Amino acid sequence: MTIAKGDRIPATTFAKMTENGPEQVSSDEFFKGRTVALFSVPGAFTPTCSAKHLPGFVEKADALKQKGVDEIACTAVNDAFVMGAWGKSAGAEDKVTMLADGNGDFVKAAGLTMDGSKFGMGTRGQRFSMIVKDGVVTELNVEAPGEFKLSSADHLLEQL
């Protein structure tokens, strides 16, 4: 079953890169008591993700925060080392928290997986964005395969 507006974020664990290496992050704690703009990409360093998706959120970070977003986070079925390197190379370090969903536990629990096998990527997360307020999804935008419109920073800004 796919997560929907009004649903609570599933209890899973992400990893994020820190100066001391990967750190485990509980989804319950991460989303508790604040508003988070979360977006998912099929893979770090992939073309659309690197050219448009992540850069859009870096560029619009201040505007999102002015509309009440406490934190912006990007997730992908990649490890914390890859997500950390991608965030650093994209200049996202101070604007977007890179949350690794290495085993795809979050996207599986949310019902938002995709089969990237024909691209040699295996099971990945779909391209989506959401607004999460105190652990509850208030906006959800899931892209059709190959599309990039609904999950953009600009679209989320319109919804706030």
Distance CA 71, CA 133 (A): 11
Q: 25 to each of 16, 29, 87, 130, 153, how far by Cα in Å?
A: 7, 7, 17, 18, 23
**CA 79: distance to chain centroid?**
13
Give the residue from 127, 72, 93 showing the smallest Cα distance to 17. Answer: 93
> Which structure tokens are listed for 106?
């979050």
Q: Is 49 a catalytic residue?
A: yes
From the candidates 44, 49, 77, 114, which is the catalytic residue?
A: 49
Phi–psi pair at 70, nearest 5 degrees? -85, -35
Phi–psi pair at 133, nearest 5 degrees? -110, 115
Cβ 10 vs Cβ 45: under 8 Å: no
Q: Catalytic site residues? A: 49
